[in-house]
Structure 1
Amino acid sequence: MSTIRQRPNYGDHSTIPQKQAERCDNDRTGKASSANSAFLSRSGMRNIFLAVLGLSLCYRWLRKDLPHPSDTTYAICSKEGNKIYTVDEHNTQQQCVVVHRGYIVETGSLQDIKGLRKSLPYIGAALNIRYIPDGSIVVPGISDSHGHILEYGASQQLPLEGTKTIQDTVARVREFILSNPDVYNDTSKFIMGGGWDHTVWPSSGWPSAADLDADPVIRGRPVILQSKDCHALWVSLRAIESSLPFPEAIEGGVIVRDDTGSPTGLLLDNAQDLLKQPKLTESDLLRRFKVAVKDAHSLGLTSIHDAGLDPISLAFFKRQAELGTLPIRIYGMTYFNEDKAYWGNTTTPVIGAGNGRLTARSVKIFADGALRTGGAALYEPYTDNPSTPGFMRLDSDVLFDVIPKFLRDGWQVNVHAIGDRANGIVLDAFEASLVGVNVTALRPRLEHAQMMTKADMARLGRLGVIASVQPTHAISDMWYAQDRLGPERVKQLYAFRSLIDSGARITLGSDFPVESMNPLSGFYAAITRVSPDGKSPHGSEGWFPEQRLTRTEALRGMTIDPAYASFTENTLGSLEIGKRADYVVLSQDIMTVPANKILSTEVLATAIDGDVVHGSI
């Protein structure tokens, strides 16, 4: 096996040097040496920081690709005391934070902040203090560690979430057609929607093209409907006909067929790639992007890890970055296609484009399918379908071949793995590839890490591989999981506490549009493991309540931990001096209110680089 050579830590190319940020942190936590502590007092550190900031801003003004920074200086404070959760190393709470030109330059009490004009001359005669409403709190900008931006925008065109039966879903497609004259009058126009979930329907069978074409309004139209977990497509006969002929079989996927061997209109996992779909226009992509960003801002998201950028999506985000500052931070995982030539040594990572808001320095590899559609790779057959243990979407030899290559060439490797067998095989590949390597510099990730043996949980912690998990999946899947896996194996599923106790670092996401984009839904699910109405198969205490996270762990899991998982912990993820001023104002204190009130929390304001992009303060 080839030796892995380390590449520099790309990190976040902000204007604040990494060493400067580290010195600030050390000074505040008492970790600096006594000599440094004597020389670099708090005020001294602040002055050094501001000098560096001033020089860097001058440099940025000379660059045509970056906009002039805002001159805005203000403090955000609470009249009720320390209601700002900084999420620093010690989870400190503060009363005020001072923002200058998009960065945090001071934290402290209201009294301390009011006296800053003596030490910070640029403030002027008086500091602009913005008070948050009574009862509200401030947290760092929230990150979703695993979402799909453009796919979310597409799903909002014809959302199928919540339909109760096949017929209910067909009726929603019919209503969409009748409600849109441009669609109704053009029978050749592709109709695309998503979010249907067969696990909540009374029938255990799959939907088919015949179900769609039984409706006279739908019949003869090309219809493509993505499943809730994005691992299945339900399509009409017209959509199938435009893609024929299909191969007899496809590795890592299933073409569902009837007794005569004809496709029924359902394609699972890799078989989805067989369907020919219309090419998206720039206006299509832009419309989807705007919908996703607007909703993200309204929910307090300032950063999204896009889990699987295909070439079209990545090219679109690059074009948007070239046009100027992106409206949200995007950490992209570039899609790996095993049928294409290896590109890790010929492709340059995108680092900090769009005024530092677009980075694509990782690769996303799919190991297996999904539990919901029975494609997750298990060691033993499914309890409710003993004929299959699921399947791998690619041969394990591919993992052992490409993972060390990508790591060698400086790419973070993120692998989708759901079933216990898939996670075991991926960890085998990681273990073989990480021998003698600085894991902190590479930070490989398991995307989902849903079901693992106890031995593999321990190995995950030992190897230092990050577990990127989605708490809302747990409260969605808990209703059918035991039927699918049996009473013993199900204990290995969504075992978040066991992962942490094994020494693993986890980071939280939603996998939207599979689940709600609302990060507070994930926070609630992580600490309660009950449905929004307070129920679970194990009662009101939660589904396997011993696997719950604490509120502090959940808050860190959607702020500083995603920053670490995207190499930006020195500039994002907490409200500390020297970091970018990304923050969210929440209407109530999610760290103390009763759990059943968390989902009623409103986002009063979302700020990126100190600029409020949603709400007001």
Structure 2
Amino acid sequence: MQDSNLNLNLKKDTVLPPKTRRLSRARWLFGSFVGLLLFSCVPLRTGRGEYTVCSHSDSIYTVDETRPRAQCITVLEGRITAIGDEADIRRHWLRNSHIFDLTGADVRFIKPNHIIVPGLADAHAHVLQQGYKMQLQLDGAQSVQEVVDRIKAYIIAHPDVHANTSRWIEGMGWDQTKWGEAFPTAADLSSDPLLHGRPIVLLRVDVHAAWVSERVLELMDPLPPDSKVEGGSIIRDASGKPTGIFVDNAMTLIPRPPWSPEQYVDFFDTAVAEALRYGLTSIHDAATDPDAVAFFKGVAAAGKLPIRLYLMAVPFSENFTDWEPSRVERLTNYGVHGRLNLRSVKLFTDGALGSWGAALISPYTDKPDTRGIMRNSPDIMGQLMRSTWKAEMQVNVHCIGDRANEVVLDIFEDIMANEALQGRPEISAFRPRIEHSQILQPADLERIGRLGVIASVQPTHATSDMWYAETRLGSERIKGAYAYRTLLEASWSKILPLGSDFPVEGVNPMLGFYAAVSRLSVDGRSPHGGGGWFPAEKLTRAQALKGMTLDAAYASFMENDLGSLTVGKRADFVVLDRNIMEVEPAEILQTKVAATVIDGKVAYGTLGGKSWW
């Protein structure tokens, strides 16, 4: 037993030579083995619920610049209490357990090829819409006929829908760039007798356009006579007849039935289960309407929120100029587990590139009759942003096109000048965000960083759009698009939160990590070859991991509690089955999550059985 207490005699900061440490470790392990034999019938005496997770090498990536890698972390009551190598953790246990040996210590070793990273965050996603999309997925459909076939299969698989031709059918994910550039039509949804006469609404992959059936057009009659709707567009044929495509604000004309309480629960459960399976511990919900806020509050109050949510409230008044952001209820660590927060507002400036809705300064290269859509005028955007700022809510604005980004940066710059905040670190108290920051002029790429406006980006948008983006924008304008490395280097705070925008893209954060570091499609291709699309804009793996952890935490005011594996922070971490920081890029996509841990408790997978030191 004398040797088993060897570490009790080591001073806290003692560093032994490698050979001495090996001998000490061997003696210590022998003593621990003897202690195990002698005390195997003695119950655990700490009574603290503390446990340690170790790797067989320094395979814990902390995203803490003071100690980037570690061998072990210890958790108590949902927080990290110690981090270091085995010797550090043994000393921690002996100092705090009030026992004379470590035979009762709860220690788990991950597999040799596994790693641990901080809990992964998605800085821009749509939780309930992910569940909604899972009803009828249209992603990847290569033709209009394939969409029709998927709807037929859905009807046949749901007898209640099959028997009721008045039942609304809703789906999401179609993308006309997969089969050409022309939008589909309502008539296409009547081409099969099983679909004819049914109300069908299908959201485009970017959720900025909707394709409806002829029956829905009948229900909408009469429509506004002009194709232009304030902030949107009704697509019409040469004779002026609506084709069945509604873009951006025109989508609000569609009389879609409201979700039932059962649908809210189903959509939520479906999305959250998928998120946890992929290692997500935090999600920034990037457009939460009042009904959704009420739903999330109910879930959190009942102690049934297994993941952290940071909500961005959207305006709830039909007349935006009458909307008061001061009426938005703040939520701070709300609910039984304190996982629900709301302190931001989401505003929309323009549409999306794929549906020619992104607001551009010059006309589209492939459609010179349009410059896209400003969903709100610069004056209304100024009113909304200033009133949100005055209400001391974080201002998060959707901007895709260079015109939209320019307008919003002009407003932010004016606000900061009036508040005497321009160019000063004090802007970190407000943390304004531009969601997507997708297409910017060279001067605005510099300006967004100088002003301290956070660029919240989605790497998979680049690899999804790269096949048609240059066709839309031309060879010069494309150089300021999806410029993630440039945005990060321009940021004085070196913050670049990464998200997916699911359900627009996949939930799996490894898709975003892979896209950020490779700029390639999942099959290893790009318009510029195997080296990646505009490879100078690749992020390093360390930058990408930080963007999905600590930067996302900063963007939601949670960097003191989340985002890195640091003593005192919440014990949110993920065990991955391979080292994404070292494997070949293509292998990143094969990564599986062995365990997702939130507040120190396993929310998905397993940490394995207890081991003995």
Q: Note if contact 2:324-2:387 (Cα within 8 Å) is conserved in structure 1.
A: no
Deviations 1:18-57 (A, max 9, x none): xxxxxxxxxx9xxxxxxxxxxxxxxxxxxxxxxxxxxxxx
Q: Say whether residues 1:480 and 2:480 are aligned partners.
A: no
Q: What is the aligned counterpart of 1:389 among 371, 389, 405?
A: 371
Q: Say whether residues 1:240 and 2:217 are aligned partners.
A: yes
Q: What is the aligned counterpart of 1:350 among 289, 306, 331?
A: 331
Counterpart code for 1:440 = S
Q: Note if contact 2:315-2:325 (Cα within 8 Å) is conserved in structure 1.
A: no
Q: Note if contact 2:313-2:328 (Cα within 8 Å) is conserved in structure 1.
A: no
Deviations 1:56-91 (A, max 9, x none): xxxxxxxxxxxxxx9632101012x11101111346
Deviations 1:174-205 (A, max 9, x none): 1110111111011111111101111111x321
Deviations 1:248-305 (A, max 9, x none): 3311101112233232111100011111111211110000000000000000000000
Q: Secondary structure at the match of 1:386?
A: coil
Counterpart code for 2:325 = G
Task: Label 1:71 to 1:147 Cα distance change in 2 as closer, same or farther (>3 A).
Answer: farther
Name the counterpart of 2:174: 196
Name the counterpart of 1:34: none
Name the counterpart of 1:465: 453
**1:534 shift after superposition:** 1.1
Name the counterpart of 2:17: none
Name the counterpart of 2:206: 229
Q: What is the aligned counterpart of 1:104 among 73, 80, 102?
A: 80
**1:495 shift after superposition:** 0.7
Q: Trace 1:139-154 onto structure 2 (pairs within 5 A).
A: 139-154=117-132
Q: Note if contact 2:286-2:346 (Cα within 8 Å) is conserved in structure 1.
A: yes
Name the counterpart of 2:146: 168
Q: Secondary structure at the match of 1:534?
A: coil
Name the counterpart of 1:405: 387
Taking only aligned residues, the RMSD between alpha carbons, in angstroms, comes to 1.5
Give, in whole Å, the separation in 2 of the partners of 1:276 and 1:225. 13
Name the counterpart of 1:339: 319
Name the counterpart of 2:405: 423
Name the counterpart of 2:197: 220
Counterpart code for 1:308 = A
**1:402 shift after superposition:** 2.0
Structure 2 unaligned segments of length 5 or more: list them.
1-12, 14-46, 608-613
**Which structure would you say has the larger RCO, counting Cα contacts within 8 Å and 6 or more residues apart?**
1
Task: Label 1:358 to 1:374 Cα distance change in 2 as closer, same or farther (>3 A).
Answer: same
Deviates more, 1:205-214 or 1:552-561: 205-214
Q: Trace 1:492-507 onto structure 2 (pairs within 5 A).
A: 492-503=480-491, 505-507=495-497
Q: What is the aligned counterpart of 1:209 among 174, 178, 186?
A: 186
Name the counterpart of 2:523: 533
**1:219 shift after superposition:** 0.7
Q: Trace 1:8-157 onto structure 2 (pairs within 5 A).
A: 72-79=49-56, 81-90=57-66, 92-121=68-97, 126-157=104-135
Q: Secondary structure at the match of 2:325?
A: coil
Q: What is the aligned counterpart of 1:443 among 431, 439, 442?
A: 431
Q: What is the aligned counterpart of 2:590 among 575, 583, 600?
A: 600
Q: Note if contact 1:255-1:268 (Cα within 8 Å) is conserved in structure 2.
A: yes
Deviations 1:179-237 (A, max 9, x none): 11111011111111101111111x32111110001110011111111110010111112
Deviates more, 1:536-545 or 1:482-491: 482-491
Counterpart code for 2:54 = C
Give, in whole Å, the separation in 2 of the partners of 1:118 and 1:382. 67
Counterpart code for 1:133 = K
Q: In the comparison of the two structures, how many residue pairs are matched?
A: 547
**1:374 shift after superposition:** 0.3
**1:153 shift after superposition:** 0.2
Deviations 1:407-450 (A, max 9, x none): 12110000000001110000001111122133111100000000
Q: Secondary structure at the match of 1:218?
A: coil
**1:122 shift after superposition:** 6.7
Q: Note if contact 1:461-1:502 (Cα within 8 Å) is conserved in structure 2.
A: yes
**1:599 shift after superposition:** 0.5
Q: Trace 1:295-334 onto structure 2 (pairs within 5 A).
A: 295-334=274-313
Deviations 1:140-176 (A, max 9, x none): 0000000000000010110000100111111111111
Name the counterpart of 1:55: none
Counterpart code for 1:494 = Y
Q: Note if contact 2:124-2:501 (Cα within 8 Å) is conserved in structure 1.
A: yes
Task: Label 1:134 to 1:383 Cα distance change in 2 as closer, same or farther (>3 A).
Answer: same
Q: Secondary structure at the match of 1:406?
A: helix
Structure 1 unaligned segments of length 5 or more: list them.
1-27, 29-69
**1:245 shift after superposition:** 2.5
Give, in whole Å, the separation in 2 of the partners of 1:209 and 1:276. 16
Give, in whole Å, the separation in 1 of the partners of 2:480 and 2:298. 43
What TM-score do you get using the length of structure 1 for normalisation? 0.87
Q: Secondary structure at the match of 2:461?
A: helix
Q: Secondary structure at the match of 2:552?
A: helix
Q: What is the aligned counterpart of 2:165 among 187, 190, 199?
A: 187
Give, in whole Å, the separation in 2 of the partners of 1:247 and 1:318. 38
Counterpart code for 1:342 = W
Deviates more, 1:176-185 or 1:555-564: 176-185
Counterpart code for 1:100 = L
Q: Say whether residues 1:364 and 2:346 are aligned partners.
A: yes
Name the counterpart of 2:36: none
What TM-score do you get using the length of structure 2 for normalisation? 0.87
Counterpart code for 1:269 = D
Q: Secondary structure at the match of 1:115?
A: helix
Deviations 1:428-485 (A, max 9, x none): 0111112213311110000000010111111111110000000000011111111111
In our comparison, the structure showing a higher alpha carbon Rg is 2
Deviations 1:535-558 (A, max 9, x none): 110010000001100000000000
Q: Secondary structure at the match of 1:317?
A: helix
